[in-house]
Amino acid sequence: MYELVQVSEKCYYINCPAKIGVYVADKDNVYLVDSGNDKDAGRKVRQILDKNGWHLTAILNTHSNADHIGGNQYLQKQTGCRVYSGGIEAAFTKYPVLEPSFLYGGYPCKELRHKFLMAQESNVTDFSEEGFPKEIEVIPLPGHFFDMVGFGMPDGVVFLADCISSRETLEKYAVSFIYDVGAYLETLDKVEQMEAAMFIPAHAEASATIKELVRYNRDQVQNIAEKIVSICKEPVCFEKILQEVFQGYGISINFEQYVLVGSTVRSYLSWLKDTKKLSTVFQDSMLLWQSV
């Protein structure tokens, strides 16, 4: 764990639960793509940078989930580096309580205010600022989270963040987190058409070819959507739908899974309603969902 892997002349990744990218622009400027889950991750990253004699200029955040920004604060305090982000992701990075609040739909209880869902805050600079390295392409990849992006490096390496998951991850957890199902499917279409010397997803193996894995992720989305529609043959409330999803996929329920899977199921319901596969009715002071 935390092994440094070189994939091109200037690009590396640190092999950890959410892969951290390293771009060595020149002897004076090294950029990270994300920073890991917490202070300990940041400390391990700094040890790697120091061992190689690299000066950290900035962290480029793909999105604001805690497992991608958790090392920001430590590294920023230790090195004075900038943290680049954009859009809604920048707000979540600056005010991390927004993540568990959004997932829960209200003020998060203590069981949700931990490092896996709420990182430490860090100061943020927008991608549009003059200091951002112009040779790096910011690639919009919305769907998994609000304004998630990937990064295209000048030597053909593309960091894909969380827009695809490995087969092993999907087989283990079944329901991967998605904020906007429609946007996510459009992102999969976009990524399927990309060409690169090497793709580095955060939660799948680095590879020069990812089309098959993209299709597997798309099929999983469609399977979950079909399952939810089948659950709604008769009018049913959200909690019953969520129970059926947990039981149907054999997912163990706890507070963290309740908000992650629950938020994702709500996103599926919205998408299915907008695409006219589900309808809603208010009955007995409850919102009920039914397939069309």
CATH at 261: 1.10.10
**CA 248 – CA 228 distance, rounded (Å):** 10
Q: What is the pLDDT of residues 7-30, one digit of tens each?
A: 999 999 999 999 999 999 998 999
Residue 267: predicted pLDDT: 98
Across the beta sheet with 278-283, what order do the strands follow? 236-237, 286-291, 278-283
Residue 31: predicted pLDDT: 98
Domain end among 167, 201, 223:
223
Q: What is the pLDDT of residues 146-174, one digit of tens each?
A: 999 999 999 999 999 999 999 999 999 99
150 and 236: one domain? no
188 and 83: one domain? yes
Average pLDDT over residues 61-88: 98
Q: What is the pLDDT of residues 219-246, one digit of tens each?
A: 999 999 999 999 999 999 999 999 999 9
- Residue 241 structure tokens: 């739908």
Q: What is the pLDDT of residues 247-283, one digit of tens each?
A: 999 999 999 999 999 999 999 999 999 999 999 999 9
Residue 247: predicted pLDDT: 98
Residue 173: predicted pLDDT: 93
In contact, 21 and 151? CB cutoff 8 Å: yes
Residue 160: predicted pLDDT: 98
113: pLDDT confidence band, cut at 50, 70 and 90?
Answer: very high
85 and 106: one domain? yes
Q: Which residues pair with 11 in a beta bridge?
A: 23
**CA 7 – CA 33 distance, rounded (Å):** 14
Domains of the chain: total = 2
189 and 49: one domain? yes
With pLDDT > 90 as the criterion, what percentage of the chain qualifies? 99
174 and 101: one domain? yes
Other C-beta atoms within 10 Å of 105: how many? 11
- Residue 191 structure tokens: 């990524």
Average pLDDT over residues 280-290: 98
pTM of the model: 0.97
94 and 205: one domain? yes
Specify the length of the chain in residues.
Answer: 292
Structural domain range at position 37: 3-223
Domain end among 189, 205, 223:
223
